[in-house]
Chains A and B, each alone.
Chain A
Amino acid sequence: AQSVTQLGSHVSVSEGALVLLRCNYSSSVPPYLFWYVQYPNQGLQLLLKYTSAATLVKGINGFEAEFKKSETSFHLTKPSAHMSDAAEYFCAVSVTGNTGKLIFGQGTTLQVKP
């Protein structure tokens, strides 16, 4: 069965510093992987997705993620944090081959300090 684990429920960085949000997955089939961002009192916005093409995926707002099969990881990075990046981030895996049901991690809250 597929599952997602996000390491660290809270991450705090200074403005301009590197952002690294960790995600590990478990899947018995080649996974499709996603990162979503959620701002307070809003729905989820797709940041980027991995669908078995290039292992380094670039998304919106300067974020990128690298699929590492050997480590079963899909960590999200951004070279330089901006105050507007403060939000909740969710990693998700798709149950491929059927409904496209998304299984989400518990989320990581990113705090950006001035």
Chain B
Amino acid sequence: ETGVTQSPTHLIKTRGQQVTLRCSSQSGHNTVSWYQQALGQGPQFIFQYYREEENGRGNFPPRFSGLQFPNYSSELNVNALELDDSALYLCASSLEGFSYEQYFGPGTRLTVT
């Protein structure tokens, strides 16, 4: 059984640029959630995707957007990067009907300069 994987591991971007982060779900999982974890904080829910549709969103601006593909992998896109976007971005996958039980990937560390 393959766990949740994320790429890239680390990323450095400049303010105003755009970034795409990628996530592959655990085998058999069809729901993907994204979280932002600022340094020294708990993760904060960005949004969730189920069957390629957004299925709930946290308190994040529209410049945070996502996609889910037919194979259940997912992307997180952030436009017009700001310094405060520097964080660890975590992807979590879960099974339909058990969306509360989420399995996390190792994360992507984004630094915005």
Q: With an 8 A cutoff between CB atoms, is A98 at the interface?
A: yes
A104 touches B43 (CB 8 A): yes
Q: Do B58 and A101 touch across chains, with their CB atoms under 8 A apart?
A: yes
- B residues within 8 A CB of A99? 33, 48, 50, 55-56, 99
A102 to B31 Cα, complex, angstroms: 14
Interface membership of B111, Cβ < 8 A = no
Chain A residue with the shortest CB-CB distance to B9:
A41
The one of A42, A102, A103 in contact with B102, judged by C-beta atoms closer than 8 angstroms, is A102
Please tell me if the beta carbons of A42 and B99 are within 8 angstroms of each other in the complex: no
Let me know if A43 and B105 touch, CB within 8 A.
yes
Query: Shortest Cβ distance from B95 into chain A, in angstroms?
Result: 10
- Does A101 contact B33, Cβ atoms closer than 8 Å? yes
Chain A, 41-95, CB within 8 A of any chain B CB: 41-46, 49, 51, 90, 92, 94
B65 beta carbon closer than 8 Å to chain A: no
CB distance from A31 to the nearest CB of B (A): 10
Q: Is the CB of B58 within 8 A of A44?
A: no
**A98-B56, A100-B102 provided; 11 other pairs, C-beta below 8 A?**
A32-B100, A43-B106, A44-B104, A92-B42, A96-B100, A100-B98, A101-B48, A101-B58, A104-B42, A105-B42, A107-B42
Residues of chain A at the chain B interface (Cβ within 8 Å): 4, 32, 34, 36, 41-46, 49, 51, 90, 92, 94, 96, 98-107
**Residues on B facing A (Cβ under 8 Å):** 4, 6, 31, 33, 35, 40-45, 48, 50, 55-56, 58, 90, 92, 94, 98-107, 109
28 sample A-B contacts, Cβ–Cβ < 8 Å, listed by A number: A4-B42, A32-B100, A41-B109, A43-B6, A43-B90, A43-B104, A43-B105, A44-B43, A44-B104, A46-B101, A46-B102, A51-B100, A94-B100, A99-B48, A99-B50, A100-B98, A101-B58, A102-B35, A102-B43, A102-B45, A102-B92, A102-B102, A103-B45, A104-B42, A105-B42, A106-B42, A107-B40, A107-B42
